Amino acid sequence: MQTPSVKVKVIMETYSNSFSLTSTNKTISLVLLGHWNKTTLPLIIKKLSSISLQHKHLEIDFKELESCDSSAIIYLISLIKQKEIHNVTLKNLGQYEALYTLYSTYFTPIPKAVLEKSYIFGAKNIGIHTVAIYLGIVRAVYFIGQAVYFMFLSLIQPKYIRFKAMLNHIETSALNALFIVGITSFLVGIVIAYQGSVQLQKFGANIFIVEMVCITMFREIAPLMTAIVIAGRTASSYTAEIGAMKITEEIDAMRTMGFEPTVFLTLPRIFALIIALPLLIFFSDMVSIFAGSIVAYLDLNVSFSEFINRMKDTVEIRHFLIGIFKGLFFGMAIAMIGCYRGFQVQNNTTSIGKYTTISVVNAIFVVIALNAIFSVILTQSGL
């Protein structure tokens, strides 16, 4: 018998064959229909989320359900657990009972800590970065110290020099770079001489092309150009080589066998570049001066023999020697940076790329910075 004062409102709707809802004042009964799986679920979620299920008794009926996969089960569990619904009844679970029990045992909502954003995030980052920079400096100092120690040790006791490895590195990082160094030097030589010749012609000071090309090339441009090419080419390959060895645990293997990685990996590379870079700079000098003399001949009517004689008379040997001398330090810096970044690689694939990039950027910057320092010091001291 029904009391006429209480009206029971019943709404029933069916949503595209995936579920039907019967809702009364206190109870919502959700009858699942058809297939609930990864493909149908996005639409179901959209429809269900627009319906308020809160503060009512929810009844879920699995009777008409044809198939159901784990994503759907997890969605249903999250629906039941997260919206604070009172009294959920599951009807006719049947074949899905085991699946439901399994996933409700292991069900894990997204932890709150992940969802909440920390307001001190910025401050925390400053701290993290400061510590990282400090540790980075400590590690770099330690690495440089170790390399320098073994360098001097190997000068006293040459058995520490791995000649074969060193020659190998000279071949790959210098001999194989001759072509690219040559072509860059040739082009830069042409450009410098050509731009200079336009200005010099205005004053009729054609012969000064010799000093201009030779001094700028010997002293500044050839060493810098060569060092930058080698920094891009060799620093990256050193980092990648050592980084790959670090990932495959070769470096750890060396340590356990008592082979000091500094002696076996770093030193041959440092020595290789200390020897090879001055030689490359000499090569670059020759090519760029040749390029300059071609421009001088074609543009300013300065013959090759005039060029050479003028060079002998007016260009002092110190300009050439300063360029070569700088090469020693550039070579050492490039090799050290390449190796140092290689040893920093961590055990994942993205880290090789990251440190190779850092290594090249560092090497080029350090070369330019060193060059500036040398330029000021040497000019101030009258050389």
Partner 1 sequence: MNIIEVHQLSTHFGNNLVHDNISFQVHSNEIFGILGGSGSGKTTLIRQMVMLQEIQQGSITLLNKDIASLSLEQSQAFKPSFSYLFQFGALYSFLNVIDNIGVMLKEYTQLPEDLIQTIAYTHLTMVGLPLSCAKLFPSQLSGGMKKRVALARALAMQPKLLFLDEPTSGLDPSSTQSFNELIVQLQQLLDLTIVIVTHDLNTIKHVLSRFILLDKTIIFEGNYEKALQEKSPTIQNFFKHKE
Which of 77, 187 has the CB closer to partner 1?
Answer: 77
Structure tokens at 42: 């996005």
Smallest gap, in angstroms, from Cβ of residue 30 to partner 1? 17
The 14-43 contact track toward partner 1, x by CB under 8 A, reads ------------------------xx-xx-
Structure tokens at 65: 């359900």
Structure tokens at 170: 């000279």
H runs (alpha helix) in the chain = 41-49, 70-82, 97-106, 112-115, 121-156, 163-173, 178-203, 209-215, 222-230, 236-247, 250-256, 261, 267-300, 304-314, 317-344, 349-380
Smallest gap, in angstroms, from Cβ of residue 182 to partner 1? 39
Contact set for partner 1, span 38-67 (CB under 8 A) = 38-39, 41-42, 45
Structure tokens at 19: 């579920």
Q: Which of 50, 347, 380, 381 binds partner 1 (CB under 8 A)?
A: 347
Residue from 110, 45, 97, 102 nearest 72 by CA: 45
Site size toward partner 1 (CB under 8 A) is 28
Structure tokens at 369: 């910075």
Which of 47, 57 has the CB closer to partner 1?
Answer: 47
Q: Reduce the DSSP state of residue 208 to 3 states and report it.
A: helix
Contact set for partner 1, span 95-124 (CB under 8 A) = 98-99, 102-103, 106-111, 114
Contact call for residues 238 and 321 (beta carbons, < 8 A): no
* Neighbouring C-beta atoms of residue 231, cutoff 10 Å: 28
Which of 99, 161 has the CB closer to partner 1?
Answer: 99
Q: Which of 17, 52, 70, 301 binds partner 1 (CB under 8 A)?
A: 70
Which of 107, 163 has the CB closer to partner 1?
Answer: 107
State the Cα–Cα distance between residues 214 and 206, nearest whole angstrom: 14
Smallest gap, in angstroms, from Cβ of residue 118 to partner 1? 13
Which of 78, 146 has the CB closer to partner 1?
Answer: 78
Smallest gap, in angstroms, from Cβ of residue 143 to partner 1? 22
Smallest gap, in angstroms, from Cβ of residue 44 to partner 1? 10
Structure tokens at 101: 């029990």
Q: Which residues bind partner 1 (CB under 8 A)?
A: 38-39, 41-42, 45, 69-71, 74-75, 78, 98-99, 102-103, 106-111, 114, 346-351
